[in-house]
Structure 1
Amino acid sequence: MGKILLACDLDNTLIHSYKHKREGDICVEILRGAEQGFMSRRVYEQLSALPDTVELVPLTTRSVEQFERIRLPENSFDRAITTNGAILIENGVQNEKWREKHLRYAAELMPLMKKLRAELEGDPLLNVVRIVDEMYLYISCAEPEYVPDFMDKYGSITELDVMASGRKIYFLPPKINKGSALHRLAEREEFPFTAAAGDSTIDLPMLETADHAIIPAALEGLLKNQNRSVFRGDGDFAEFVTDTLSELIKK
């Protein structure tokens, strides 16, 4: 197999929150002076020693600011894609052509997103109502049990893809997704093989686009891509991701 592009989600895929910290985990994110995100030592060491035949590209729904809080192993990546595919960062610098193209997509639906933001701001059931990097609208419910009601009310807005993840709900322009970002990058670089790892429905476009998908069992019934490795254990999904990558390298 030639060079592999691994597009990888971050939260709950490569990294986990302080709530799930285990002995030996390495802190990779600090928020307001407190340890926020962690990675298992084994995964950290594996990413530190990726061969030249693999390029890791973090592909996250996080904003640029949120992504820049993360400290992945040194020299483990040169490029990352944030904001659900909208912003490409190369050696710490945003690719303006990439960003401008997605800004045009977002502009088509920005009036709707601003209308929704105005409607939702001040709702006592929400902790956050925000337009992220000028690309999509994001809300966070104060409690998980509030999510179904908001999804029932707003999930049928046909112009936007409305997706929930935990307490968070994302209102996404359809053209801004991880799948189109992966396709664009792979086509631009002519990678012969792409793998993708992700844990949520927001990752499905990326997982469908990849030559091989790495997923937890919860996504198995939702994914059409039959070229897959499925994590069914009780251990660390991130370790399953890097172990699967090692197996793909050998082929």
Structure 2
Amino acid sequence: MNPLIASDLDRTLIYSTAALGLRMPDADAPRLLCVEVYEHKPLSYMTETAAALLTGLARTATFVPTTTRTREQYRRIRLPGPPPRFAICANGGELLVDGESDTGWRRRVEAGLAAECATLEEVRTHLARTADPAWLLKERTAEDLFAYLVVDRALLPEEWVKELSAWAEPRGWTVSLQGRKLYAVPAPLTKSAAVAEIARRTGPCEVLAAGDSLLDADLLLAADRGWRPGHGELADAGWTAPHVTALTTRGVAAGEEILRAFGGTA
């Protein structure tokens, strides 16, 4: 029985220049493969070893990229190996099958959010009213499902983030701060729900997962086995679970270690 591997991408398997964490001497740095270009410039990388490991996993497992990125942002990525049959975007709001959106899944997601959560417009209005232009760089929505801000982390008050989380929780929303992006996401909009749907379609299997942020916690909890890197929101919070391996490795090397762990169980 081949496993289903559902992995977050940014800061889990792929890394921007700022997130690479290359702390070794330059001569000892790993060879890197660029896997994303944005506005004619290289943006995201993995080690060449990690690329080879991911390619090999395609022969023994169902690999499912599982990301908070929009479909447009996800399609910029060129992962090594054959194109995955399934991919999850927008934190579970979009399920791609052979590269195309599953409209039935999207309708189910929208119906669930309408029944349980405050509207996106209410959340955007609150963000616009309370965010300070001194640290707010951009305000965006993703797939008409959730909102995020691009912020200056050095100027962003920690207390404001806590106040936003307290405001959002009773309205059925969660807040996650990842790098320069602060996400406001409906609590029922989860990666784990989309993974469960894929598992239902593919048949009984072991589910393996990896992720670094609070938005990945539900994915890791729902998996049979999980891994988190030594960086990110989950590591900063000391978060773990009995079946989740808390790695100490940080940066792009953690992505390589996660893929080795996937391969050891596939």
Q: TM-score, normalised by structure 2?
A: 0.85
Deviation track 1:86-142 (CA, whole Å, cap 9, x = no partner) reads 101111111111112222344452242232254257833211211110110111212
Alignment partner of 1:155: what SS? Answer: helix
Using the alignment, how far apart are the partners of 1:123 and 1:18 within structure 2?
26
Paired position in structure 2 for 1:208? 221
2:77 alignment partner, one of 59, 70, 74: 70
Residues 36-80 of structure 1: CA deviation (Å, up to 9, x unaligned): 001110111111222543011000011111111101113052211
CA positional deviation for 1:166: 2.3
**Structure 2 CA distance for partners of 1:150 and 1:191, relative to 1, 3 Å:** farther
Is residue 49–residue 76 contact of structure 1 (8 Å, CA) maintained in 2? no
Q: Spell out, residue by residue over 1:142-169, the C-alpha distance to the aligned partner (whole angstroms, 9 max, x if none).
A: 2344051331231102211112222221
SS at match of 1:49: helix
Number of aligned residue pairs: 247
Q: Answer yes or no: is the 8 Å Cα contact 1:5–1:191 preserved in 2.
A: no
Match of 1:222 among 228, 236, 239: 239
- Is the 8 Å Cα contact of residues 230 and 254 (structure 2) preserved in structure 1? no
- 2-structure distance, mates of 1:123, 1:231: 37
Structure 1 residue 185, shift from structure 2 partner: 2.2
Amino acid at match of 1:228: V
In structure 2, give the amino acid aligned to 1:103. E
The residue aligned with 2:165 is 155
**Unmatched runs of 5 consecutive residues or more in structure 1:** none
* C-alpha distance in 1 between matches for 2:159 and 2:229: 26
* Residues 28-177 of structure 1 mapped to structure 2, 5 A cutoff: 28-75=35-82, 77-107=84-114, 108=117, 109-119=119-129, 123-157=133-167, 158=169, 159=171, 160-177=173-190
- Residue number among 227, 233, 248 corresponding to 2:249 in the alignment: 233
CA 1:212–1:91: 2 relative to 1, 3 Å: same
Could you tell me the percent identity over the aligned residues?
Answer: 26
5 Å-filtered alignment, 1:11-30, equals: 11-19=10-18, 20=20, 23-30=30-37
Range with greater deviation from structure 2 (12-21 or 41-50): 12-21
**Structure 1 CA distance, aligned partners of 2:109 and 2:227?**
27
Q: Take 1:26 and 1:51, find their aligned partners in 2: how far apart are those partners? A: 18
User: Retained in 1: the 8 A contact 2:12–2:229?
Assistant: no
Distance 2:13 2:249 in 1: 16
The higher-RCO structure (CA 8 Å, 6+ apart) is: 2
Q: Is the Cα–Cα contact under 8 Å of residues 27 and 35 in structure 1 kept in the other structure?
A: yes
> What secondary structure does 1:61 align onto?
coil
How many Å apart are 1:216 and its aligned residue?
Answer: 2.2
Distance 1:87 1:116 in 2: 25
